[in-house]
Amino acid sequence: MAISTSNRSLSRPQDSCVLQAGQRLILSRPNNNWSTTIFVEQGIIRLSTVASEINPEITVALISSLDNGTFHHPNSENIQIEAIAESIIKINNEQKIYTASDDFLQEWIFQLYKVRHPIKTEERLKSLLRLLILKLGIRTLEGYKLEFLLSHSRLAEMIGATRSTVSRTLGVLKEKGVISIDEMKGELVVKDYQLISTTATGIALPL
């Protein structure tokens, strides 16, 4: 299901919008090259391009309440939001002096590009899990937890692999004790602390 930000429920910046898991919202391109800010009050959302007859849908970022979701809408692409879990968001378009550091999309796109660099699917999947943990994970007694699950087809899109290959690779990682997945709770736990070593990334682990 897709709705537009021109919908009356989003006509004012102070209005909140509730998205059920899987629900999509197509962002209207702001006038006069203004910036867009997405405030996630609850849940986690995914930003992606809109699929067309020529180009597939491509994930460009995930946003939680910990992020400052300010960016400039790309001129060449339509952008949409998908709720990974039930989410409450606000969207604001405003005129402001723009610098590259304001645009959180640039860092996400760069990191997702790096995820696709390793040759082996297992290494690409580990790289993606590392990124998700660093951006959206929480520390627990069992390891580092993601309180949401992405479908195997979505993981495949993000790392440049097939769905069946991702399914097999997840099975291998579970057998090795690198991860555990609780389908009922919708959670994934990274148990192998070597997977999320900050030696290469230089990014602080979540507390």
Give the pLDDT score at 169. 97
Give the pLDDT score at 95. 78
Give the pLDDT score at 196. 66
115: in domain:
no
Asked whether residue 144 falls in the same domain as residue 75, the answer is no
Range of the domain at 42: 2-105
Asked whether residue 6 falls in the same domain as residue 67, the answer is yes
203: in domain:
no
Assign residue 12 the CATH number of its domain.
2.60.120
Q: How many domains does the chain have?
A: 2
Asked whether residue 16 falls in the same domain as residue 71, the answer is yes
How is residue 122 written in tokens? 């297992």
Asked whether residue 129 falls in the same domain as residue 187, the answer is yes
Give the pLDDT score at 59. 97
Asked whether residue 11 falls in the same domain as residue 49, the answer is yes
Asked whether residue 78 falls in the same domain as residue 170, the answer is no
Q: For residue range 33-83, what is the model confidence (pLDDT) as tens digits?
A: 788 999 999 999 999 999 988 889 999 999 998 887 888 888 888 999 999
Percent of the chain scoring above 70 in pLDDT: 84
Q: What is the 3-state secondary structure (H, E, C) of the chain?
A: CEEECCCHHHCCCCCCEEECCCCEEECCCCHHHCEEEEEEEECCEEEEECCCCCCCCCEEEEECCCCCEEECCCCCCCEEEEECCCEEEEEEEECCCCCHHHCHHHHHHHHHHHHCCCCCHHHHHHHHHHHHHHHHCEECCCCEEECCCCCHHHHHHHHCCCHHHHHHHHHHHHHCCCEEEECCCCEEEECCHHHHCCCCCCCCCCC
Separation of alpha carbons 153 and 163, rounded Å: 5
Asked whether residue 16 falls in the same domain as residue 99, the answer is yes
Asked whether residue 172 falls in the same domain as residue 127, the answer is yes
Residue 105 dihedral angles phi and psi, to the nearest 5°:
-65, -35
Asked whether residue 89 falls in the same domain as residue 128, the answer is no
Per-residue pLDDT of the chain (207 residues; tens, 9 = 90+): 444 443 333 434 457 899 999 999 999 888 777 889 999 999 999 999 999 888 899 999 999 988 878 888 888 889 999 999 999 999 988 876 666 667 889 999 999 999 999 999 999 999 999 999 999 999 998 899 999 999 999 999 999 999 999 999 999 999 999 999 999 999 999 998 777 654 333 444 454
Amino acid of residue 109: I
Give the pLDDT score at 205. 47
